[in-house]
Amino acid sequence: MQRLVDAATLRATVQGWRATGERIALVPTMGNIHEGHLRLVDAARAQAARVVVSIFVNPTQFDRPDDFERYPRTPDADADALSARGVDAMFTPNVEIMYPHGLDMAAYIEPTHSAQQLEGEFRPGHFRGMATVVTKLLNLVQPDCAVFGQKDYQQLAVVRAVVRELLLPVQIVGLATVREADGLAMSSRNQYLTPAERALAPRLYQALQAAGQEGAAAEAPLPAIEAYHARALNDAGFRVEYFRFRNAQLAPPAPADGRRVVLAAAWLGKARLIDSHPFDVARGQGTPG
């Protein structure tokens, strides 16, 4: 596996692969590689002959400086894990490469309306920073496809919207959330949990699953279901920021929608957990009792 740190070497490497007709996949990450990331690598390998994994802790998508400073950085362990999984190149640029004129003078991507709700309400500027750096990475690598996890369901929707709006010639592949055995979505931030909090954390996904069952009828009372589960999680020790139903395009659900998703963000101690649960809407059934 090649370890690349500058844009020129990355471009030359990718151009060499492309000259021989090889298909290229990109997996953008912020590092601290875990099994969830490695499943994205596996999905990328199924799509392309060459796989590039980027690792960049992007300062412009953090809404709190302390969160940026303490975000886990494990480059050597990441390199070992990615190499063992057959990654062809690990790209680890610094801030100066990704923002050559500095953060204050940078040009930014303003994402579409899908970024203004949910995470956008509680993390101002997050999707602006994320969309900007993802667009930069897509421009640098110019992959045939890029693979993202569905745990960040809204992020995936924003990336797809930006790619459509900017007419970027790349296929965006979404991979179902990778979970621990007890259902907790894999995340680098899970290491912030104490043992007691880790034992409680799977309750978030359990609530999403239950809400999905209760909200599967076309005319289900979605606001009441949202309120019930948010209250139950708060009572259990979480601090819920949102627990909401949306349709597959993140618009408010309508009875005619064939697919819905319930999304949540909640604090548990020092860890902010996000998760989602997409599900199909049942037809010809009454509201669950």
Residues with catalytic roles = 37
Cα–Cα distance for residue pair 129/59, rounded to 1 Å: 8
Identify the helix (H) or strand (E) that includes residue 37.
Answer: helix 35-47
SS3 255: coil
Strands of the chain (E only): list them: 2-4, 24-29, 50-55, 89-91, 145-149, 171-175, 239-247, 259-268, 271-280
Q: What are phi and psi for residue 278, nearest 5 degrees?
A: -80, 150
Q: How far apart, in whole angstroms, are the C-alpha atoms of residue 99 and residue 58? A: 10
- Measured CA to CA, the distance from residue 211 to residue 206 in angstroms comes to 9
Whole-angstrom Cα distance, residue 62 to residue 51?
27
